[in-house]
Structure 1
Amino acid sequence: MQILIIRHGQSEADLLKVHEGRADFPLTELGRRQAKLMAERVKENFPPEIIWASTLKRAKETATILADALYCPVKFEDRLMEYNNGILAGLTYEEGKKYPIPKTMHERRVKNGESSIEFRMRVESIFSEILYTSTYNRIAIVAHGGVINNLMRAFYKMPVTTEFLFKSGDTAIHLVEITEKERIVHFSNDLAHLQHLQ
């Protein structure tokens, strides 16, 4: 099965320079254009049969644009929401300095948030469920940078404490595949659809 992993487009939080995480901001106009270009590329080159997506506005809107372009069903799933950054959500970076992030996040957490271990386990839980209940040849997951980072770590079977970071630009596309014999990475953080965006 092939798995398209797609990050949402630019959100209003990017312009406001605030901690996003669980803060629920919609896409900007640029974000919507990015999502439409991504949807065109996916439709032409590797259309999925079903889309799974986070319920936060920026990912939900990106997934809806993709689903509308493909006439494809979409399932919204809370467990695909971004890292729960607790009290930091929606605060400016300056305001956030009042609540320092613990140096080791694996077990500790920001107030009202989740730890890195809890985040990874949440993402692994829904990823396993998607993989083992899907009967499709190709699926898509539309989510967030932190979620995608953990999805890729899970795909590579990396430990929770790994220092590897998988970057994802706005509407970045990753394409991986799981067969009976191996795990294949076709490409990662692909942004070719934004090449001519003005």
Structure 2
Amino acid sequence: MIELIIVRHGQSVGDIENRFEGRADLPLTQLGKDQAQKLADWLSTKYKFDKIVSSPLSRASETAKIIGNKLNLDISLDDRLMEYNKGVIDGLLKEEADKKYPIPEGGRKYYERIEKGESLIDLRARAEEFLAELVGNVKKDNVDKKLLIVSHGSLISQLLKSFLKLPMDSKVHFSTGDTGVHSLKIYNNDRIVITTNMQQHLL
């Protein structure tokens, strides 16, 4: 059996400044650090992980390190877990980005890239590759594993779509709040969703 706990980072500077974050490497706020510590405390009472894998962007890796310190686990970084690369608008205030680079009428198609960015297909491909490799390695070792993944909202949504084998043009979306927790299991060939966007540790 494979158990995957997927979490979003805590509140970041980009969140409170209303910026497009993407690849802009903006750190956690103090509240974000506090949220990560609360998550770490809660996870320590619920799970014993074999491994923590995180996006290298600081808002995610900071969150992962806070959890790792609590659980006494090292962090592995994986570029495939980075947020959706929105190119020229990353780091811009959303109001500024809307003026400089307005969304085309009817929206961008999932195969279209914003300048210097990636398409939704590119994002989905990263999620698919990461998940397939993860599951393949665990099945090859033929042992039960509990894995913690720390990433970002858009990439997490694509991981969940990949997990559920939803088509590229699916209109299903998954919300993830600050340090929101998604719990998934793979047992034989069954894929089981336990919880999505759980935030009881913040109460």
TM-score over 0.5 for the pair = yes
> Which one-letter code corresponds to 1:167 in the other structure?
S
Residues 143-197 of structure 1 deviation map (CA, whole Å, 9 limit, x = unaligned): 00001100000010001111111100000011000010411111110000001xx
The aligned length equals: 195
Q: Is the CA contact 1:5–1:175 (under 8 Å) kept in the aligned structure 2? A: yes
1:121 aligns with 2:125: yes
Where does residue 24 of structure 1 map in the other structure?
25
- Tell me the TM-score normalized by structure 1: 0.95
Q: 1:103-118 maps to which residues of 2 (within 5 A)?
A: 103-118=107-122
Q: Secondary structure at the match of 1:113?
A: coil
Where does residue 40 of structure 1 map in the other structure?
41
Distance 1:133 1:194 in 2: 33
Q: Secondary structure at the match of 1:10?
A: coil
Q: Secondary structure at the match of 2:53?
A: strand
- Tell me the TM-score normalized by structure 2: 0.93
Q: Secondary structure at the match of 2:196?
A: strand
Q: Is the CA contact 1:124–1:154 (under 8 Å) kept in the aligned structure 2? A: yes
Where does residue 56 of structure 2 map in the other structure?
55
Deviates more, 1:130-139 or 1:65-74: 130-139
Q: Is the CA contact 1:101–1:110 (under 8 Å) kept in the aligned structure 2? A: no
Structure 2 gaps of 5+ residues are none
Structure 1 gaps of 5+ residues are none
Distance 1:131 1:181 in 2: 11
Q: Please list every run of at least 4 consecutive aligned residues from structure 1 whose deviation after the TM superposition is greater than 4 angstroms.
A: none
2:191 to 158, 179, 183: 183
Residue 25 of structure 1: how far off its partner (Å): 0.3
1:192 aligns with 2:200: yes
Where does residue 5 of structure 2 map in the other structure?
4
Where does residue 94 of structure 1 map in the other structure?
95
Residue 109 of structure 1: how far off its partner (Å): 1.3
State the Cα RMSD in Å. 1.1
> Which one-letter code corresponds to 2:46 in the other structure?
N
Distance 2:131 2:16 in 1: 30
> Which one-letter code corresponds to 1:140 in the other structure?
L
Q: Secondary structure at the match of 1:52?
A: strand
Q: Secondary structure at the match of 2:10?
A: coil
Distance 1:16 1:169 in 2: 16
Distance 1:131 1:72 in 2: 21
